[in-house]
Amino acid sequence: MGLESTIEKLDKYFDRLEQGKAQKIEPEHVDEVIRKLEARAQQLEAELADTHKDAKKERVWQKIELVHKQKDRALWLKEKLCEAP
Amino acid sequence: MPVILLVLGAGFWASRDFQEIAAGVAIFLFGMLMLEDGFKLFSGGFLEVLLEKATASLPKSMGFGILTTTIMQSSSLVSIITISFLSAGLISLLAGVGIVFGANIGTTTGAWLVAGFGLKVNISAYALPMLAVAIVLVFQTNKYLRGAGFVLAGLGFLFLGIHHMKEGFEAFKDQFDLTRFALSGLVGLVVYTLVGAAATVVMQSSHATMTLIITALAAGQISYENALALAIGANIGTTITAIIGAMTANYQGKRLALAHLIFNVVTAGIALAFIGPLRLLVDTIAAGVGIPDNDFSLKLAVFHTVFNTLGVLVMLPLMRRLIIFLERAIIPPKEDLSKPKYLSDAVDEFPQTAEVALRQEVKHLYDNAVELIAHGLNLHRKNIFTTKDIAATVRASRRPVDFDLDERYEARVKTLYAAIVEFTTRVGTKDMPTDVMDDVYILRDVAGRIVRAVKSVKHLRGNASRYTERPQGAVTELYNQLRTEIARILVEIRQLDLADPKDRSPLWLDQQRVQVEQDARDTNDRIEGLIRKRQLDASVATSFLNDSHYAYSAMRDLLGAARAYYIAPEDALAEVEHILGLEDEELGSLVANALGDTHDDVTQ
């Protein structure tokens, strides 16, 4: 999962923030989303453990994988926000 | 109205002082209107957030009613906001009744203001500078400054109105002696109570009636005894504003208006029945706080406070019974899924209620849409929402659901969507904050996507029924796959809806979006393979490709609608979710990469 569009969206967010059209994101806001993603991952892992059909296992597994990628993106975002002046 | 105009005309002809009194009342009422307009400009969230938080318990609701009515000097405005909140489902009936009870105590501060300050100080000296400063603020572009300007102008006009009423009565008493019409005993009580009620109905403000009574009493134009009856009548008359406000509200708003009427009539009844002991109590309190025995204006203010507080004390223990009575007296209308449940004129006055009501109505539309989509594909919500194997459940669900999808679409989707579009247009003409309007337009778009999803399923229904009613080989499998994918999305959205709002995120839907794009791409390859193997007739394949286009459009619309609907309500969190979410273009490249990986795996 590439970061290009995330970078683009982050740039646009900074522009809107400068114009006073967006609410400032604090690192705690990203932590809150990370918490939600972790909760989702746990929920999916429980679902995976309860799944026997291979096709369904595959679908749940893909979901877990994406949640992990989203979490990585969130950590990256937090880092960028902390670096921002 | 003709009667009122005739009375005014006759009065103007008979006396110049009457003109001054009438102008005083008019200026006072104009001031109240400006005050209401000013406070409405502040209701860009502040007032509503306060109301939402301050109604967690009955004492809090009552305290809120007392405080806001004291600040706004209008129990009518507080009642109307409360009806609006109740109609939008933001507060409970119990909290609403608590606010109304509190407002009845809060409104008594008006009598104190007029009797204690308005009559003893030359308030017109304050009124004129207030009006001059107010007009400067009213012309500002910032809506809060404009709001402050209207509030200040409202107060200025209230003061000016009181001044003219006072002056009018002072001069009037030299020409006419209204005390000739004074009635004593029971007859006086009943007649003046009715006059007080009628005057309040005409002026739509008990505050204005009380001011008129106090100024007339101070000028010696009415007797103290009759003034007490007039004050009791004003309390009955004031319920008319809430009743008018409730006419456009839903059944909850109507219940609150009835509660207001019952409370004020019972309070008035108690005051009339115990007028003698109440007078003694007022005299005792007045003597206790140092009010001179002949200061009837202040004693009237004491009376107003005592009998309203007494009313609350009497009604409080009966509160639960009152609620039960209201719930029995005004029964919720039998649910008609084709009619909007939350959108009404009562909710579009205030930004918070407008947005909340619209959000709930969009959910109502979605629930109706889910029924149509499921039945349109010959599926049953109960089965797909409870099964552990959606594909198997869909395969087993073959019997066509007997209903007219077009007719049901007109009745349960199109009418609601029309109401939503009409409501958002109406709200757009009001002076709503930009962030609220942004959310309103997002919700309108969500509704649009839901409607498009249903329309897509309408196109799909014929062939989906035809090819899945009984097993017909590859084509049945293809249509079952489409039905399964749509069912999966309905299940995913339901899981998101049922999750704790603190834990859920529209990011949950991203994998489903990737899946939809992957399946849409796989479909073409699969069809080509089936045609080559002669397992699928070319004409059937063409129909299927057409139908699959509708099916994937429906899936994209449902997921798009849910992503926008379930975005975090807090702006900063929504920003994070927006930045982290996958864009539509990204979905394509992700799928291409995934397919590339698969091809690589195959070739290795």
- At B596, the pLDDT band (50, 70, 90 cuts) reads low
Q: How many CB pairs under 8 A join A and B?
A: 74
Per-residue pLDDT, B445: 96
Quote the minimal CA–CA distance from B374 to chain A in Å: 21
| Residues B514, A5: C-beta atoms closer than 8 Å | no
* B570, B579, B589: residue with CB nearest A77: B579
* Residue among B509, B579, B590 with most chain A CBs within 10 A, to mutate: B579
CA distance B498 to chain A (A): 13
Contact state of B578 with A9 under an 8 Å Cβ cutoff: yes
Q: Which of B64-68, B154-158, B183-187, B293-297 has the lowest mean pLDDT?
A: B183-187
| pLDDT average, residue stretch A16-42 | 89
Position A36 scores a pLDDT of: 92
DSSP B536: S
What is the enclosing helix (H) or strand (E) of B507? none
**List of chain B residues whose C-beta atoms are within 8 Å of the C-beta of residue A36:** 503-505, 507
Minimal Cβ distance to B576: which of A39, A55, A77:
A77
B68 within 8 A of B106, measured Cβ to Cβ: yes
Q: Inform me whether the pLDDT recorded for B473 exceeds 50.
A: yes
CB contacts of A26 in chain B (<8 Å) are 572
Residue B177 pLDDT greater than 60, yes or no: no
Range 27-46 of A in CB contact (< 8 A) with B: 29-30, 32-33, 36-37, 39-40
Tell me the shortest Cα–Cα distance from A83 to chain B, in angstroms.
16
Helix B239-247 / helix B251-273 crossing angle, nearest 10 deg: 170
Q: What is the 3-state secondary structure (H, E, C) of B184-234?
A: CHHHHHHHHHHHHHHHHHHHCCHHHHHHHHHHHHHCCCCCHHHHHHHHHHH
Our measurement of the distance from residue B530's CA atom to the centroid of its chain's CA atoms, rounded to an integer in Å, reads: 56
Flag the least confident range among B7-11, B38-42, B481-485: B38-42
Residue of A nearest to B513 (CA): A63
Q: Would you tell me the crossing angle of helices B538-565 and B510-532 to the nearest 10 degrees?
A: 180
Query: Domain ranges in chain A?
Result: 25-83
C-beta of residue B196 within 8 angstroms of C-beta of residue B229:
yes
> What does the pLDDT average to over B459-475?
91
Q: What's the gap between Cα B51 and its chain centre? A: 12
Is residue B565 pLDDT above 70, yes or no? yes
Q: B residues 278-317 near A, CB within 8 Å?
A: none
CA distance B511 to chain A (A): 6
Put simply, whether B484 touches A (Cβ < 8 Å) is no
- Inspect the interface and report whether the beta carbons of B589 and A2 lie closer than 8 Å: yes
Confidence of residue B602 (pLDDT cuts 50, 70, 90): very low
CB A73 to CB B585 under 8 A? no
pLDDT at B431 over 80: no
Q: How does the average pLDDT of chain B come out, rounded? A: 83
> Quick one: pLDDT band at residue B597, thresholds 50, 70, 90?
low
| Average pLDDT of the segment spanning B331-338 | 76
Span B213-263, pLDDT tens digits: 888 888 887 888 888 888 899 888 888 766 776 776 778 888 888 998 898
Q: Where are the domains of chain B?
A: 17-329, 351-603
Residue for token pair 């999750």: B499
DSSP assignment of B239-283 equals: HHHHHHHHHTS-HHHHHHHHHHHHHHHHHHHHHHHTHHHHHHHHH
Interface contact A2-B586, CB threshold 8 A? yes
- Interface probe with B: pick from A17, A36, A59, A62, most Cβ of B within 10 Å: A36
CATH number of B351-603: 1.20.58
CA distance B209 to B32: 12
* Contact call for B571 and A13, based on CB within 8 A: no
Query: Which one of A10, A36, A40 has the shortest CB-CB distance to B579?
Result: A10
Residues of A in contact with B391 (CB under 8 A): 55
Q: pTM of the prediction?
A: 0.67
Question: What pLDDT is recorded for position B19?
Answer: 82
Which residue of chain A is at minimal alpha-carbon distance from B577? A33
Q: What is the model's pLDDT at position B599? A: 45
Q: Would the CA dihedral through B467, B468, B472, B476 be positive or negative?
A: positive
Confidence of residue A45 (pLDDT cuts 50, 70, 90): very high
Nearest to A5 among B505, B514, B583 (CB): B583
Q: Give tens-digit pLDDT for B552-561.
A: 999 999 999 9
Q: Which residues of B touch A2 (CB under 8 A)?
A: 586, 589
Give the pLDDT of residue B603.
36
Cα maximum dimension of chain A: 52
Is B573's CB within 8 Å of A33's CB? yes
A60 to chain B, any CB pair closer than 8 A? The answer is no
Residue among B480, B483, B463 nearest B554 (CA): B483
- As a whole number of angstroms, the distance between CA B84 and CA B246 comes to 9
User: Which one is predicted more confidently, B351 or B193?
Assistant: B193
More confident residue, B68 or A74: A74
